Amino acid sequence: MSAAPDQPSEGTVVTDDQQRPPAAAVFDALGADYEKAFAASRTHRHSLEWLLGRLAPGSRVLDVGSGTGRPTAETLANAGHDVLGVDVSPVMVELATRQVPGASFRCADIRDVPLEEASFDAVCVYFSLLQLDRREQADLVRDLVRVLRPGGLMVLATVPLDVEGVDATFMGRPVRVSSFTAQSFAAVAEEAGLEILAQEASMFTPAHPAAQPEPHLFLHGRRPDTATRRA
State the CATH class of domain 23-224. alpha beta
Classify 209 as helix, strand or coil.
coil
The domain segmentation of the chain, as residue ranges, is 23-224
DSSP 97-111: HHH-TTSEEEES-GG
- For residue 21, the model assigns a pLDDT of 41
- For residue 62, the model assigns a pLDDT of 98
Q: Which residues are within 8 A (CB) of 156 and not within 5 positions of it... i.e. 6 or more apart?
A: 125, 129, 141, 185, 189, 194, 218, 219, 221
How far apart (Å, rounded) are the C-alpha atoms in residues 62 and 7? Answer: 29
How far apart (Å, rounded) are the C-alpha atoms in residues 205 and 37? Answer: 8
Q: Which residues are within 8 A (CB) of 114 and not within 5 positions of it... i.e. 6 or more apart?
A: none
Peptide bond preceding 71 in cis form (omega within 30 of 0): yes
10-residue averages of pLDDT along the chain (231 residues) = 36 34 67 80 97 98 97 98 96 95 97 96 97 97 98 98 90 86 98 98 91 93 73 39
The CB-side HSE value for 127 (13 A sphere, CA atoms) comes to 24
